[in-house]
Amino acid sequence: MHPIASWMVTIDLQDEVELERLEDPALSMYAVQWHRQAPRKPEIDWPMSRDLAARAHQALERHVDRALPLRMKIEKRIPLGSGLGGGSADAAAVLRGTNELFELGLGIDELAEIGSGLGSDVPFMVHGGSAIVEGLGERIETQTTLPDVHAVVVFPDLHCSTAAVYGWFDDLAEDNGDAGIRPNAVRSLAEGGCLTPDGPFNDLAEPALRTAPRLADHLEDLARLADNPAHVTGSGCAIYTLCDQAIHAEALATAIFDRLGLPAIAVTSCNVPEAVSG
């Protein structure tokens, strides 16, 4: 958990979360695997006790003070340590889906509050869309208009530990004599209307480069090929560049794979779909 000031927008690169309600007194079962379309497929070696989606289900059980037995299966497309909030999105999907599956009747704000105890990105992921997010992720100012964003996200074979990146962030902020976050700059960017390729900034980019120095070469290669600035996603290690249209993004993603040998996916901004549970 760390104080943030961010403009967050959900995109159409999504994991798949499948939930099935079980009859009492069954024990819940969790499974996580890579989707066949995942750009990177490292070993899934973390215990389910640490998985954010499983922890979200258990947090919801504690909140309503009853067992909510289910079978959960996640097929991940979003790589670990990519700075895209994949684990947080899965946790949010479990909160929303379980709420619907068991007809708990909890409102979206209440689900977001439960999610705030899991991680800074989870409350926003419960809402989705576009929002300015501050505090520890609990202060969410939802924007009424979803920006029309087309981009290519590239996945170098690197990993950025979020803890390590924030450690560098705090060290650099201390060296510069400031708090490290810039809420006014974030708000100005989000409210500025048209988002240009050179508009995004990321104060975690330099800490990510300290954590994974080879990321600098990939940023340079992407910027050169795209003829546009390249940016670090969140705490890294994915990188992206903005495009004018979806067809431009699709063509650039193909070129990146052909010329740089890096997995690349064209993405578009989107709202969070309604949960469909069985």
Residue 131 CA to residue 153 CA, distance in Å, equals: 20
Domains and CATH numbers, the chain: 4-142 (3.30.230.10), 150-268 (3.30.70.890)
CB atoms within 10 A of CB 67: 14
pLDDT tens digit string along 85-96? Answer: 999 999 999 999
The token pair at 212 is: 């994974």
Residue range 3-55, pLDDT digits in tens = 889 999 999 999 999 999 999 888 999 999 999 999 999 888 888 888 999 99
Alpha-carbon 149 to chain mean position: 16
Q: Taking the model in full, what pTM does it have? A: 0.92
Contact (Cβ atoms closer than 8 angstroms) between residue 222 and residue 155: no
Span 129-152, pLDDT tens digits: 999 999 999 999 999 899 999 999
Q: Is pLDDT at 276 greater than 80 in this prediction?
A: no
Of 276, 208, 271, nearest to 240 by C-alpha is 208
pLDDT of residue 159: 86
Do residues 238 and 146 make contact, with C-beta atoms less than 8 angstroms apart?
A: no
DSSP category for residue 73: E
The number of residues making up the chain comes to 278
Q: What is the pLDDT of residue 278?
A: 43
* Buried/exposed 142-151: b ≥16 CB within 10 Å, e otherwise: eeeeeeebbb
Cβ 11 vs Cβ 269: under 8 Å: yes
